[in-house]
Chain A
Amino acid sequence: MTRVLTMERAAAARRPASLLTDAAIFAAGLAALYGVMGISRSWLSPARPVAEISLSPSALPVYALYSLWRMGLAYLASLVFALVYAYAAARNRVAERLLIPLLDILQSIPVLSFLPGVMMAMVSIFPDRELGLELGSILLIFTGQVWNLAFSFYASLKGLPRELTEAATTYHFGHWQRFYQLELPYGAIGLVWNSMMSVAGGWFFLMACEMFQLGQRDFRLPGLGSYLQTAASAGDMRAILWGLAAMIAVILLLDQCLWRPLIAWAEKFKFEQVESAEAPQSAVLLALRHSASLAWVRRRALAPAWEALTLRLARHEASEQPREGPVWRPYAARALGVAALALVLYGAMRAGHILMGLTRDELSLLLHGAGATFARVMAALAIGLLWTVPLGVAVGLRPRLASVVQPLAQIAASVPATALFPVLLLILFRAGGGMGLAAILLMLLGTQWYLLFNVIAGAQAVPSDLLEAARVFRIRGWERWRLLILPGIFPYLVTGLVTAAGGAWNASIVAEYSRFQGRVLATTGLGATISQATDAGNFDLLLASTVAMAVIVVTVNRVLWKRLFRLAQTRFRLET
């Protein structure tokens, strides 16, 4: 044991910069404390009818903090929920049969259409506190980011290597030890990557739900999203640029201080037998690891507390005799299942009743809208493919170019499209474009990056010996594309297209209908119908259009993407 301690000390002594790190950590701690106090004061303050959004750049740090705080809470809630959900699905066979298809459907429902319902509910729960609105926005972001987390953890629970679980059983691991030494570490890498994706998606929704109108009511939460929307509405180019700069700064900061360290740290959870040559690095993580004060806190406070907690739990579980559950348990589970089923049936019947009550006009609006949005999604995907495939392949096949382009593209991609929507609308209308075109552009803006990243990854995965073979046999031009590159990137392209299509459908809700500089701009489309119904408080139509969109997305997933996936996994798999 002395050995371990001295090693830690030596590590701490090696770095003279450690003092600086400690100061930074201390300052960050103070700032976080101050921020939490300030925010809680604002939350509990009486509800303001309409929050004034200041366009002064000096207001931006506070707004950024507000937005970040909402993000953080929503993410934490998602993580906890996802872990529980995945655990239930992986452990209980009955639950699994219910929860996993449900996950598939929930993932396809356009989250933004929940906005009015959720907000109304929250505001009515806390009618005279800001808390209601804040909770509403957090709940919305939560619904946008929880599903892929849950699915990722479920998949890793199901994929646990058999011998590892057997080792855990033979060595009498209790539930808790099994969780923190086996299941959570095994799922960690998937969770980290999916957290990044979730939070990126979360920004998208946060920007949209910080400021919106429902009927006659105008909801505003102070934050980056509302700042950008207000700035664009006012046509204040200077404020727009400030807002975008703040947005990018926040995202870069998160990337450097949170995601990169996390990814580098999660490297140790990689399930591999040999160390990989190129492990991700992070300067921030290195600094944290060498910080003497953190090491002190860990040694003096965290480690003993953890030790006491785990020992207590282990002793408790070790003393428990394995026993069969109480006699009533299977019955209780069955009763619960029946109750859930009844609830779902009742809900479906009520929803069906509402849908039956739609007028002929509304139905035709839905059908036309669905067709128009479908066409727009396809157009956005097609345009996206047109530029991302050539560029992505060019970049992917040249490692040196990739090392320059990839970080740039990542920054561009991390700016949430919803933050850019108002800005883009402003530019487009100054140039004299129509809303239909704008909608396609906005969808494209939100989705092209998925395509680009996947194409680059696909091109990088084309084995170099095949490329060399093509060169030797003088296969060039179109033949080279047809025989080698297109089949090579196909599986990646399908993955990119699925994600992009889902994003485009969701974006249609904001893209096809917008309130801008006091005017309502809309075009025919399912997304526009959802937004219109929201605005008008027509809940029947809102329900119908949301269901329609979910059905279309699920159907297209089942009919088109699943098949392409299968094709990609069988015929176009490059086995190495």
Chain B
Amino acid sequence: MTHLEPIIEARGVEQFYIQPGGQRTEILTPTNLSIQPDQIVALLGASGCGKSTLLRILSGLVRPPAGEVLWHGQPLNGKQPNVAIVFQSFALFPWLTVIENVEAPLRARGMGIFERRKRALRILDTVGLDGFETAYPKELSGGMKQRVGFARGLVVEPEVLFMDEPFSALDVLTSETLRGELLELWTSRRIPTRAIFMVTHNIEEAVELADRIVVLAHRPASIRDDFLVELPQPRTHTMPRFHELVDHIYKLLTQPEEKHVLPAAAPAAGAAAPKEHVALPHARPGGIAGLVEIIGDRGGRDDLYHLAEDLVLDVEDLLPIVEAARLLGFAEVSEGDVRLTPIGKTYAEASIEQRKQVFREAALERIPLLRQIHTALRAKSDHAMPAEFFRDILDDRFSADEAPRQMETAMDWGRYAEIFDYDSQSDRLLGTET
């Protein structure tokens, strides 16, 4: 990679909120990141980890409370640089026709009608929207809408094109087509854009498109890894190196605590004492059961990537379920493979009632929060506690957004495992007799 002067450079940017209690909730730890010319950069991370925040800071939409963003070496200070953003929700104005949507940014620059229309028609032609000029966005399919989104972005000839999960709202085939077309525009230099910065949670998407991948760690967000993808275009899923990269990123995302290079085997079941604040992955007991069953059916072992492909799921959707199975000691994950443990096998083959028993034992042994609730309920003479009590505990450990989700998952698991019952009228957890 040639070391050119970066177009955009973020120095020590952070994002945090001061909560009413004066507590500081960190969204993004101080981060340095620069966007070089002639690169497609993909920012990867789990959903809701702060990727979009970083994109908004780099594009000048959000002014970070600390740190600075340099545009060709000059601080931005609230100015809007010549960039464009393609949004996940398309963010088209539904009351404007396709061509009016595309012309809107040019109008804002004070460009006259003839020049405006000429440019808009040219870019619509480029993205393949010929003949749809007078249509309203709601008359178009999702893929066509996003084409309008691209046209509106490209018409201002941005130096950097930002894309915030641009393909997530589209079906698999459509997003595949659009990715291909974007790559074609980019590699053939038919657009004057000098760099593309894309936020995604789709690992394959990143590996397919990006020249450089930045992986964000979760809560608070910080850069976990930043590497170049030296694979020739066009890339296909069958390339061995493609597969390796995907597996590598999986590991980074599924095992946030582990070091970069993983040992061949996962920690033995029960060996690692669960830490005090284990964050529960948001998976339902039914989903965990389903996953364990499927892996059981496949001989107790499968590649995560295949598993997701066969289930027609985004691997990201599978990750919390896999993580839950791992946490409960039903499965181990290593090198992108997931393997059932002996307990997992027992669980897969058990009847519905036995399963609850296995789940209950595993949960009480390995999930500190459920164990805590169980102990508390047993200690009370009436075996009942207000749910609020545990919410308070979670509030101290997690962010304001995350705490209720943690509680919800804990309730899901606890009620399934019959560790406790919940009375919504009084908002109390009730111990169950066994």
Contacts and interface: CB of A to CB of B under 8 A. Distances in A.
A163 B89 CA distance: 7
A397 interface: no
A177 B80 CA distance: 16
B112 interface: yes
Contacts of A161: 89, 91
Interface in B99-133: 99, 104-105, 107-110, 112-113, 117, 121, 133
Contacts of A173: 104, 108
B79 A318 contact: no
A271 B139 contact: no
A170 B61 contact: yes
Contact of A275 (B59, B134, B139): B139
Interface in B76-97: 78-80, 83-85, 87-89, 91, 93-96
Contact of A177 (B85, B107, B139): B107
Contacts of A7: 134
A85 to B, nearest CB: 23
A315 B110 CA distance: 5
B91 A172 contact: no
A133 B95 CA distance: 42
B156 interface: yes
B107 A163 contact: no
A171 B59 contact: no
Contacts of B91: 161, 163-164, 166-167
B138 A171 contact: no
B87 A181 contact: no
A270 B94 contact: yes
A5 to B, nearest CB: 11
B56 interface: yes
B136 interface: yes
A253 B80 CA distance: 50
B356 interface: no
A307 B113 contact: yes
Interface of B: 56, 59-61, 78-80, 83-85, 87-89, 91, 93-96, 99, 104-105, 107-110, 112-113, 117, 121, 133-134, 136-139, 145, 152, 156
A191 to B, nearest CB: 13
B138 A273 contact: yes
A481 to B, nearest CB: 23
* Interface of B, helix, strand, loop or mixed by DSSP: loop
Interface in A156-174: 161, 163-164, 166-167, 169-174
Nearest to B120: A1
A314 B79 contact: no
A173 B108 CA distance: 5
B80 A181 contact: no
Given A3-B134, A177-B108, A311-B112, A170 B89 contact: no
Nearest to B59: A170
B85 A172 contact: no
B105 A169 contact: no
Contact of B107 (A164, A272, A310): A310
A189 to B, nearest CB: 10
A333 to B, nearest CB: 20
Interface residues of A, number: 35
B95 A170 contact: no
Contacts of A174: 108
A170 B55 CA distance: 12
14 contacts: A161-B89, A170-B61, A170-B80, A170-B85, A171-B156, A172-B80, A173-B108, A270-B94, A272-B138, A273-B137, A273-B138, A314-B107, A314-B110, A318-B109
B104 A177 contact: yes
Given A272-B138, A273-B138, A166 B110 contact: no
A363 to B, nearest CB: 44
A185 B105 contact: no
Contacts of B89: 161, 163
A368 interface: no
Given A3-B134, A181-B104, A268-B136, 11 more contacts: A1-B121, A161-B89, A166-B87, A169-B80, A171-B104, A181-B93, A185-B95, A273-B138, A275-B139, A311-B107, A322-B78
Given A272-B138, A275-B138, A182 B109 contact: no
Contacts of A387: none
Contacts of B87: 163, 166-167
Given A173-B108, A273-B138, A185 B61 contact: no
Contacts of B107: 177, 310-311, 314
B108 A311 contact: no
Nearest to A1: B117
Given A163-B89, A181-B104, A170 B83 contact: yes
A166 B109 contact: no
Interface string A222-249: 0000000000000000000000000000
Contacts, number: 88
Interface string A271-298: 1111100000000000000000000000
A26 interface: no
A269 interface: yes
Contact of A4 (B60, B83, B133, B152): B133
Q: Which 6 residue pairs across A and B have the least CB separation, nearest first? A: A315-B110, A171-B105, A163-B91, A185-B95, A167-B91, A314-B110
Contact of A172 (B88, B105, B145): B105
Contacts of A270: 94
A403 B154 CA distance: 49
A314 B109 contact: yes
A7 B89 CA distance: 30
A555 B138 CA distance: 44
A408 B191 CA distance: 59
Given A185-B93, A270-B94, A274-B138, A3 B133 contact: yes
A279 to B, nearest CB: 11
Contacts of A4: 99, 133-134
A315 to B, nearest CB: 4
B102 to A, nearest CB: 10
A269 B138 CA distance: 11
Contacts of A307: 113
Contacts of B80: 169-170, 172
A318 B121 CA distance: 23
A182 B104 CA distance: 11
A182 B93 contact: yes
A10 B182 CA distance: 36
A177 B84 CA distance: 18
A3, A273, A314 — which one has the most chain B CB atoms within 10 A of its CB?
A: A273
A573 to B, nearest CB: 15
Contacts of A188: 95
A181 B85 CA distance: 18
Q: Which of B61, B88, B108, B138 has the most CB of A within 10 A?
A: B108
A170 B80 CA distance: 7
Contacts of A170: 59-61, 80, 83-85
Q: Which of B78, B113, B145, B152 has the most CB of A within 10 A?
A: B113
